[in-house]
A and B are shown apart, each in its own frame.
Chain A
Amino acid sequence: MPEFEPKIVAFCCRYCAYTAADLAGSMRLQYSPNIRVVEMPCSGTIEHGVILNAFEKGADGVYIAGCNLGDCHFLKGNVRAIKRVAAVKKVLDEIGLGGDRLEFFHVPASEGTKFAKVANDMTERIRQLGPSPLNKSAAGNAKKEGGQTA
């Protein structure tokens, strides 16, 4: 069976993770092509609804990447993001999608390698979890390809 390619949305803070993504690019680091990066003015601007929306639209995984504790450009945006992520993880557990599909990571601007590692780790994690039942295209693919192998 061909490997499932997860669709992952990464909400990245402009002051750290997003810059780190650029850095990873200029360092010519290979990282998972499954990541769709969304630039955020601060990880703290993430909202419960936006995360759920990504899942509803078919994302297999979502993560928020913000600065190290104490390094937030807006002082506490990352702390707030961490709390919101925890709250949405709980909702995901309750409704049966599973909180594991969502995570928060600290990715400082200077660490292109960390950006790549987080992207690869999350891709691997979601690959293990399998496609989200809401990911119509993945389910379709799996069925079609499954048919081929049969």
Chain B
Amino acid sequence: MIVAQQKPINDIAQMINDCKKVLFVGCAGCVTVCLAGGEKETEVMASAMRIKRTLENNPLEAITYTCTRQCDPEYIASLDNVVKDVDAIVSLACGVGVQYLAERFKDKWVVPALDTKFIGGSTVHGVWEEKCGLCGECILHRTGGICPIIRCSKSILNGPCGGSQYGKCEVNKDIDCAWQLIYDRMKALGKLDKLMEIQPPKDWSKSRDGGPRKAIREDVMIDE
């Protein structure tokens, strides 16, 4: 899932300081799972913002709506009527949702309430960790199912670097060295010889470095 975290409430307040009526839009997708922008968080944020503005003698009319997904035009279409008289839209989705709202509601001031952090999963309730760097050409079959692109602080493909010690990354003692993990796993699988192959440089054009990416599946496209 996409993992996001709320921005400081005062930063968001600043973005909508001069607005009288604001729509807070939650998303029932990833940000609900990572407890950053689901229905509950959206209500809490709207409520906090109303209280803040009342205290500042600048009352705010805050309304809320939570979409099934903000990253899908058909789900934000349902906002068409709701947005009519609002001065701003605060999106509690990842950056994708914010942009879809901004694209659809061209005359509205659309602002992000979250910082979109990474894609990953949760280890225990309340803790999320980054697992994939969206490199565009997965190489997990060569690294024992552990991603060196994002989990190694230097994205080394022929690791570990000389800073790996006691299983930890040189960057921080709280970070496992991805290459120690890869080594351990390949060893357990009896595939250490694979690590002796020199992994060639990555083709970053398949990643963001090729420009914004698109994925197209002709076979599932619906004819107009």
Contact = CB atoms under 8 A, between A and B. Distances in A.
Interface size on B, as a range, is 10 to 19
B104 interface: no
Given A52-B47, A95-B48, A133 B40 contact: no
Contacts of A55: 51
Main secondary structure of the interface of B (DSSP, over half): helix
A94 B8 contact: yes
A96 B56 contact: yes
B59 to A, nearest CB: 11
A84 B43 CA distance: 16
Nearest to A91: B48
Contacts of A47: 40
B47 A97 contact: no
B126 to A, nearest CB: 9
A94 B9 contact: yes
Contact of A95 (B40, B43, B52): B52
A56 interface: yes
Interface string B89-100: 000000000000
B44 interface: yes
Contacts of A49: 40, 43-44, 47
A52 B56 contact: no
B34 to A, nearest CB: 15
Interface in A36-52: 47-49, 52
B17 interface: no
A31 B18 CA distance: 45
B9 A56 contact: no
8 contacts: A49-B44, A49-B47, A56-B47, A94-B8, A97-B55, A133-B54, A134-B51, A134-B55
Interface of B: 8-10, 13, 40, 43-44, 47-52, 54-56
